[in-house]
Structure formats: C-alpha cells, structure tokens
C-alpha cells in the first residue's frame, strides 16, 4: 500500500499536480486504494471492479469524457452505541508554472542566463544553441530540514519513447551532452537554513524554422522525501528564418475595477490561423511585459510576471493588478522584447480600464458550503 499518490493534468509535462496521503499521523490507513474513471467509481457503492482496459485520461472511452478518481476502502470497525469513528485523508493541488516554486518548505528558483539569439548568417543560434539555466534551492524556511543526497531530474517536452523504452524522438531542447544519464544532476547535501550555490544546467536547442517555446520541468528530490518538489522554465527557440508569428488582440475586460483590491484583467486574442502558435510563445514571460498607463499623466502601474497566466487554447492573457488606491482611466500596454517576438508591434488597448471607488466592482471571493444529509431523504444540515 503506498503512503502517497500523485495526479497530473497531463502524462508528460504537467502544469498542475495534486498530491494525496494514504497514511500518516492521525490517518487511518485504508485496506484498498482504487483508481478509475470518476463515473464508474462514483456510481458504485461497495463492489467496485476496476476496468483495466479503459483509458480514463482520454475522451475515447465509454463515458465520452476524461475524468479520474481515487477511492478508499476501509474495513468495518465495531463502534459502541453513542460513539463515533472517523476516517480522513489529505489532498492538495498546486500549479507549477512559474520559475519560483515553493514546495515542501523549499523554494526553487530557475532563471535563464541569457535568451537564445539567431546568429549573424541565419543558419543557427549564437553559442551553438547553448542554453544555461541557473538553479538555486532555498532551504531557509522555518520548517526546513537537512536535505541529503539532493538530485535534480530534468523532464523535456516532446521527448518520445517506443513500447520498449527506446527514444524515438529527441526533444527540440535537451541536455548539451545528448546523454540521457546527464538528465539527473547530483547536488549533494543542503543544510537546514542554507541556500545552495548557483547550479548551472547546460542545455542545447535545435534551430527552428518557426519560433517555438519549450518547457523544462525540474524535479528536486532528496532522501526521505515521498515525492519530488517541482519547478519549470519556459525557453523560447526563435525562428532562424525570421518568420514572425501572427498575434493580435480583440478585447480587454473588465472596463471597471475596484481601486483598492487586486483585480483580474483579461486580454483576449483573435482566433486566427497561426494565433495559437503565437500565443504559445507568450508562455515565456521574460520575452514581454504588460502594464497600465493612466490617461491624464501617464502614470504607469506595472504587473509582476508571477501574476500573469496564459491560456493558449482560448487565446487569453489573465493578469492580476493591484491599484493600491490609485484611481483613473488606464490603457493596457504590452511590449514585446524577446527575440521570437521582436517583429510584433507593441499593443495598446483601444478602450480603457477604469479604476473606481464604487464597491460594486470589488472582486468577489468564494467559500464552500457543505450540505449534509443527517437521516432520511428530507433531513439535511
């Protein structure tokens, strides 16, 4: 019986991971842990039989949609009259799409030493396509422990294997040596309250006809850790043929935001041919910036990259901006500075986002309401 389990939103290169505990302090360990399609598990009371032939991660299954679930089974326990019993588990979700990721009381910082640039004759990249990622592991939180035998394991997008585990497609961005064993980097020990030195990770990029972005996942593990802490970095591989992406925007919403609290603003792009490819380049947030400019005096309100989310499929940029009591009418500006985006005109919204004092425009939070049936079908609490 495992102590923990992990769920990902994609088999390779996930952007969201969830972890659950099967056992631990004050957790009564189940006798059976079952994994299957949600519909099948949810509609079975006690006699669930896993369908080992179904792919519940794909729409191509009898239920016509992808959904998974984990079920626990505990043996009955005799309970005295008036007494009660309890079973519980822990489950949590985290998004790992930024260069700074905090997990298990460590912070993983990943930065790219310098962006890739096309060489002078347009045949490849400068420095022969060499990409250096600098990693720092911060182990200074109040709950930190001594980290022994720390290792960083690299996971690359679009690396494919056959059924026998042989590589059939080498990724567009890979370790410089080209050796799979070099995808695991031994760091050694990091003491409690200490910060690692800079750990350079040297990669190499294949020259590209069209600009693309590739995601590198970094899994940090150490002895006694049930699952790795995870961080990621997007790296832009620009077009060596100077093929510029087609990127345009159609709207900025909402038109009014509250002046004191953080507010979410959405920039929606045009769904034209090639626009999804272009939007994927925005995942490398070091290649562009967004900010608000006030109409009367050009006051600039910056937006931190940590507060920006890219929805490639729906061609949307969502960002959180804190006006900190500033009011007025603002236009949204985007500047494109990266090599792959250098030919795209900077964007200025045609409409305004107005920061107002009317509390009607406050962002609304949400809570969870639990409805519990106590007895018969009509007795709820």
pLDDT of residue 153: 95
Could you tell me if 286 and 326 lie in one domain? yes
Residue 381 in any domain: the answer is no
Could you tell me if 151 and 266 lie in one domain? no
Residue 24 in any domain: the answer is yes
Could you tell me if 267 and 220 lie in one domain? no
Distance CA 207, CA 129 (A): 7
Q: What residues of the chain score a pLDDT lower than 50?
A: 12-13, 94-100, 102, 366-367
Could you tell me if 232 and 307 lie in one domain? no
Residue 133 sits in which domain range?
100-237
Number of domains the chain contains:
3
pLDDT of residue 183: 94
Domain boundary among 203, 237, 271: 237
Structure tokens at 226: 């049930």
Q: What angle do CA 274, 279, 284 make, to 5 degrees?
A: 135
Whether residue 87 contacts residue 96, with contact meaning beta carbons closer than 8 Å, is answered with no
Residue 373 in any domain: the answer is no
3-class secondary structure, 63? coil
What does the pLDDT look like over 222-257, one tens digit per residue?
998 878 888 889 899 999 988 777 788 999 999 999
Structure tokens at 9: 């939103």
Helix, strand, coil: what percent of the chain each, to 5? 10, 45, 50
Could you tell me if 105 and 232 lie in one domain? yes
Could you tell me if 353 and 260 lie in one domain? yes
Among residues 195, 359, 358, 215, which one has the least CA distance to residue 283?
215
pLDDT of residue 99: 45
Domain boundary among 36, 62, 95: 95
Domain boundary among 176, 211, 237: 237
Residue 379 in any domain: the answer is no
The CATH number for 215's domain is 2.60.40.1460
Could you tell me if 271 and 312 lie in one domain? yes
Could you tell me if 72 and 40 lie in one domain? yes
Residue 46 in any domain: the answer is yes
Could you tell me if 141 and 232 lie in one domain? yes
Residue 258 in any domain: the answer is yes
Distance CA 363, CA 366 (A): 10
Cα 203 to chain centroid distance, Å, stands at 21
Distance CA 362, CA 265 (A): 13
The CATH number for 291's domain is 2.60.40.10
Distance CA 178, CA 35 (A): 37
- How far, in Å, are 69, 104, 151, 264 from residue 19 at the CA level? 13, 12, 20, 28
Distance CA 15, CA 22 (A): 23
- CB neighbour list of residue 179: distance below 8 Å, 6 or more residues apart: none
Phi, psi of 222 (to 5 degrees): -155, 170
Whether residue 230 contacts residue 102, with contact meaning beta carbons closer than 8 Å, is answered with no
Whether residue 127 contacts residue 204, with contact meaning beta carbons closer than 8 Å, is answered with no
Residue 116 in any domain: the answer is yes
Distance CA 232, CA 17 (A): 12
Could you tell me if 220 and 110 lie in one domain? yes
Residue 243 in any domain: the answer is no
Could you tell me if 201 and 329 lie in one domain? no
Could you tell me if 279 and 296 lie in one domain? yes
């Amino acid at each position: 019986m495992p102590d923990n389990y992990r769920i990902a939103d994609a088999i390779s290169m996930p952007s969201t991971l969830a972890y659950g505990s099967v056992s631990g302090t004050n957790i009564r360990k189940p006798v059976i842990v079952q994994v299957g399609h949600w519909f099948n598990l949810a509609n079975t009371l006690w006699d669930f039989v896993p369908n080992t032939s179904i792919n519940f991660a794909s729409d191509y299954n009898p239920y016509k949609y992808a959904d998974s679930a984990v079920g626990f089974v505990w043996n009955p326990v005799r309970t005295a009259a008036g007494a009660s019993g309890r079973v519980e588990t822990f489950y949590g979700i985290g998004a790992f799409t930024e260069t700074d990721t905090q997990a298990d009381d460590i912070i993983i910082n990943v930065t790219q030493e310098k962006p890739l640039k096309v060489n002078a004759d347009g045949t490849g990249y400068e420095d022969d396509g060499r990409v250096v990622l600098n990693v720092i592991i911060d182990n200074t939180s109040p709950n930190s422990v001594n980290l022994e035998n720390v290792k960083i394991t690299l996971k690359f997008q679009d690396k494919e294997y056959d059924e026998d585990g042989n590589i059939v497609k080498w990724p567009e961005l890979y370790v410089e040596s080209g050796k799979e064993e070099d995808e695991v980097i031994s760091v050694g020990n990091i003491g409690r309250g200490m910060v690692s030195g800079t750990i350079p990770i040297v990669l190499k990029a294949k020259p590209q006809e069209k600009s693309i972005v590739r995601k590198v996942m970094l899994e940090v593990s150490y002895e006694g850790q049930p699952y790795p802490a995870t961080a990621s970095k997007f790296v832009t591989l620009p077009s060596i043929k100077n093929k510029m992406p087609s990127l345009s925007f159609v709207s900025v919403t909402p038109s009014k935001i509250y002046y004191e609290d953080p507010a979410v603003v959405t920039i929606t792009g045009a769904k034209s041919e090639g626009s999804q490819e272009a939007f994927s380049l925005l995942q490398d947030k070091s290649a562009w910036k967004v900010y608000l400019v006030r109409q009367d005096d050009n006051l600039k309100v910056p937006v931190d990259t940590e507060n920006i989310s890219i929805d490639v499929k729906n061609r949307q940029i969502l960002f959180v901006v804190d006006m900190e009591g500033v009011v007025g009418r603002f236009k949204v500006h985007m500047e494109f500075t990266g090599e792959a985006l250098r030919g795209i005109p900077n964007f200025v919204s045609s409409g305004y986002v107005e920061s107002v004092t009317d509390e009607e425009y406050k962002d609304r939070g949400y809570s969870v309401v639990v409805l519990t049936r106590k007895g018969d079908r009509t007795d709820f609490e």
